[in-house]
Structure 1
């Protein structure tokens, strides 16, 4: 019998949630996704030292001020990892816009264009790149602008139904609901040690979004993310995509037993909710009414921004 990872690949596109090339090669996912935290971790690994040093040296030669140098080095470092990842995976790589631009529409658009420009200079077609933007109202507006230019976006830090509805209406390519971080919040606020996979609040959130999209024919892809255990992943078998850390990829690879598909477009027709339409005021109010999503979105932006600052410090130390 095939292992659970191979069975999962029959129902969902498996995406590696890492910047580590070796892990990507080992588990052969279709796509890969990165973020500032993952790039910070990978950039500190000895085996990537020469590549990182080379990128920083080139950025130093191309930029003048410290601010310009850091911006250039960060962009080129993110793209350098992405280019190498695309030599391994047959599909797409997700590269994140600086979280400090999460409330800046034009800044996000400009940064996305710059990242795509660097990829295209490296010979990578823009169709193989997903630009990651935070699921703020400003991020969603930026994604709508970029979609008209053929720049596809992956909306990250997504915790609420309001965010999912607005992303679908904006015609974004893909959303990444954060399963594990949703569960973390409920564990803390309900004073629980954990949940059975079928009762997991993060699993319920992604299932609701998936069914809504499929019932109403939205082409936006749903990619479950931020998993804390393999049980969450198995409960979402059939979701369009699932981005999984190396540790959990290993656990699924070693796992035996029959995997059951849990989500499908057919079942969504009877389970999906009535269609909503959200303008900015309705979006902000609906998100505000969701305490978990409001807190986790804010927290996620701060954490990614903090890791971006740490990466800048590392670049300055090396440059």
Structure 2
């Protein structure tokens, strides 16, 4: 499974990329507003930090507007992926942008039927929103499972990008369900790294190391 960071915080992205486990980044208008910086300058900086796919969202509501915005975004950097909402006009735009070789990420997907349409339109990625689906009393993970089954049945090349990730369990369950990607806030990646037994074990190992006879010299630089 690939891991994307869902943020417009460039410092958090630098941290994630330095770990060596972050494959891409997703952004949206809400995240851009929180960053408090210009949208274009933020996206361009993210594209420099992360060489993997970087999703940047269109805001138009007609196919013509979305296509125009998508073409502009795609010119900013070679790793830009154009985010398009799952609406009728969005599907029209995805078909055209895909025909032009522009990668797309269809977002705000809340049903297998919507995901099927996005794949048929030629989307590079489809983003089911797990947390938001859970919030209305539905099972977000079942949504992922059904999309995975449909895509496998028909050999769609569209990748399933599990979005609205709220915790490490979401990531694990999405991986078990067969999602290609999980995009998450930096705090969820931090939570995936941390475990109290790891901390306890490390403390114990370091304490025991102090009693090893050559502990102070074994890793010393050799004399030249």
Question: Which of the five TM-score ranges fits, normalised by the shorter chain?
Answer: 0.7 to 0.9
1:253 is matched with which residue: 185, 193, 203? Answer: 193
More strand by share: 2
SS in 1 for 2:166: coil
Partners of 2:2 and 2:180 within 8 A in 1: yes
Tell me if structure 1 keeps the 8 A contact 2:56–2:81: yes
Residue 235 (1) aligns with residue 190 (2): no
Alignment correspondent of 2:63: 105
The alpha carbon displacement at 1:24 in A equals: 1.3
TM-score (structure 1 length as normaliser): 0.57
Of 102, 108, 113, the residue aligned with 1:151 is: 102
3-state SS of 2:84 partner: strand
Return the match for 2:52 from 80, 91, 97: 91
* Number of the residue aligned with 2:156: 218
Q: Secondary structure at the match of 1:219?
A: coil
> RMSD in angstroms over aligned alpha carbons?
1.6
5 Å matches for 1:9-158?
12-28=1-17, 29-43=22-36, 52=37, 77-98=38-59, 101-102=60-61, 104-117=62-75, 119=76, 124-125=77-78, 128-158=79-109
Instruction: Work out whether residues 166 and 184 of structure 2, in 8 Å CA contact, stay in contact via their aligned partners in 1.
Output: no
Q: Residue 256 of structure 1: CA displacement?
A: 7.8
Superposition map of 1:166-185 within 5 A:
166-185=117-136
The structure having more radius of gyration, on CA atoms, is 2
The CA deviation string for residues 117-166 of structure 1, in whole angstroms up to 9 with x for no partner, is: 3x0xxxx22xx111011011210111001111111110011101111110
State the structure with bigger RCO (CA 8 A, min sep 6), 1 or 2: 1
Per the TM alignment, residue 229 of structure 1 is displaced from its structure 2 partner at its CA by 2.2
- Alignment gaps of 5+ in structure 1: 1-11, 44-51, 53-76, 188-200, 258-319
Task: Work out the CA distance in 2 between the residues paired with 1:219 and 1:159.
Answer: 19
Aligned residues: 191
Deviations 1:182-227 (A, max 9, x none): 000117xxxxxxxxxxxxx001101110121123210001000002
Contact 2:74 2:81 in 1 (8 A): no
User: Does the 8 Å CA contact 2:58/2:69 hold for their aligned counterparts?
Assistant: yes
Secondary structure of 1:236's partner?
helix
Q: What does residue range 280-319 of structure 1 map to in structure 2 within 5 Å?
A: none
Confirm or deny: 8 A CA contact 1:78 1:95 kept in the other structure.
no
In structure 1, C-alpha distance between the alignment counterparts of 2:195 and 2:129, rounded to whole Å = 23
Unpaired stretches in structure 2, ≥5 consecutive residues:
198-224
Q: Is the 8 A contact 2:165 2:182 kept in 1?
A: no
Q: Secondary structure at the match of 1:25?
A: helix
State the TM-score, normalized to the length of structure 2. 0.81
Q: Secondary structure at the match of 1:85?
A: helix
Task: Give the 3 Å change call, closer, same or farther, for CA 204–256 of structure 1 in structure 2.
Answer: farther
Give distance in 2, aligned partners of 1:87 and 1:33.
14
Query: C-alpha separation between the residues in 1 aligned to 2:173 and 2:73?
Result: 35
Contact 2:107 2:126 in 1 (8 A): yes
